[in-house]
Amino acid sequence: MLAVYGMKSSGNCYKVQLLLEQLHRPYRWVEVDSAAGQTRTPQYLAMNPNGKVPLLEAGPGRYLAESNAILCYLAEGSPLLPQDAWQRAQVLQWLFFEQYSHEPYIAVARFICRWLPDDHPRRAELPRLRERGVQALAVVEQQLARQPFIAGAEYSVADIALFAYTHAAADGGFDLSTFPQIQAWLQRVRTQPGFVAQQA
């Protein structure tokens, strides 16, 4: 059976949970507390030298890291990862956009606001994170004005990847009220078969 090493509070881990639920794939969830150093133990680093969650155990000794790589691997052969080369390229484009231009601002702002004390020096990063995060949201808003899902007419793993932190953007101080297309899309994602909400 598949195993996922993850933290329920992490959007990157939630992506994997949401996809597995939507694919009706059985899996075992192993909760790992990175704040307590559990991703830096010799045992964990032997599974993932980069010391991050989520981590998929696809079989004995077969480990796959990077949330969006896990999404692609698990969705292969399903409608959530298109077979058509151009459509697939669009999905990948948005997966890389999410990890480079969206998550580093929206997820990091959420982390600072939710888990660091009010007087933590990293709060100084928030203005820049919010500026860049709003830029990313504006790109997503523009895309969703043209088509119902992020990479085209159909729901895909690109929607899962971008939903993971966009739905929780308010945690990082982002105001989604000025992004009506994003709000409507969040609702479309929530009505997909097998959808589960993030638990933390």
Which residues of the chain form contacts with a second copy (CB under 8 A)? 49-50, 58, 62, 64-70, 72-73, 76, 85-86, 88-90, 92-93, 95-97, 99-101, 103-104, 139, 142-143
The three-class DSSP label of residue 149 is strand
Whole-angstrom distance, CA of residue 120 vs CA of residue 106: 18
Pick 93 or 178: Cβ nearer a second copy: 93
Q: Give me the least distance between CB of 108 and a second copy, in Å please.
A: 11
Q: Give me the least distance between CB of 157 and a second copy, in Å please.
A: 11
Picking from 179, 182, 146, the residue whose alpha carbon sits closest to that of residue 163 is 182
Helices (H), 76-199: 85-97, 103-115, 126-144, 157-166, 180-190
Q: Give me the least distance between CB of 150 and a second copy, in Å please.
A: 12
The three-class DSSP label of residue 114 is helix
Give just the sign of the alpha carbon dihedral 190, 74, 154, 11: positive
Pick 65 or 192: Cβ nearer a second copy: 65
Picking from 187, 192, 122, the residue whose alpha carbon sits closest to that of residue 156 is 192
Q: Give me the least distance between CB of 5 and a second copy, in Å please.
A: 14
Pick 32 or 70: Cβ nearer a second copy: 70
Pick 38 or 192: Cβ nearer a second copy: 38
Task: Spell out the residues 6+ positions from residue 193 whose beta carbon is closer than 8 angstroms to its own.
Answer: 22
Q: Give me the least distance between CB of 191 and a second copy, in Å please.
A: 26
Pick 138 or 196: Cβ nearer a second copy: 138
Cα pseudo-dihedral 66, 69, 73, 75, rounded to 10: 110
